[in-house]
Amino acid sequence: MSFAKIIAIVRSTAVSAIEDLLHEEGAPGMSISHVKGYGDYADFYRNDWMVSHVRIEVFIAESMAEQIAEKIMDVAHTGLEGDGLVAILPVSSVYRIRTKKRCEEDV
């Protein structure tokens, strides 16, 4: 089975809805972390321009990646600057540390 990694950097207000979505879609797991940075949208009122967002990372079957990414965008979209971004990356291998075995069916 081929895997992909979805990285979504979104507003903190969208996190609960995205968590619910990923549970409903059967995502086998997710990681969530708080991040700071700037891209198209920067906080020009701060000296460092930094904006706080949340990064959600999901390893998922490659066949589901586009569909899940589109649903994340639907949930996180406000139409305002700073909505965030979604990236899909190819993954060559995923291993479980506990068993030291390569994941074939699920992550």
| Token output for 35 | 């991040």
Q: Is the pLDDT assigned to residue 23 strictly greater than 70?
A: yes
pLDDT score of 44: 78
| DSSP letter assigned to residue 12 | G
47: pLDDT confidence band, cut at 50, 70 and 90?
Answer: confident
Report the mean per-residue pLDDT for the chain: 92
Cα 69 to Cα 9: distance, rounded to the nearest angstrom: 11
pLDDT score of 88: 98
Question: Are 12 and 32 spatial neighbours (Cβ–Cβ below 8 Å)?
Answer: no
75: nearest Cα among 16, 17, 13, 6: 17
Domain boundaries, the chain: 3-102
Domain covering 3-102: architecture: 2-Layer Sandwich (3.30)
Q: Is the pLDDT assigned to residue 107 strictly greater than 70?
A: no
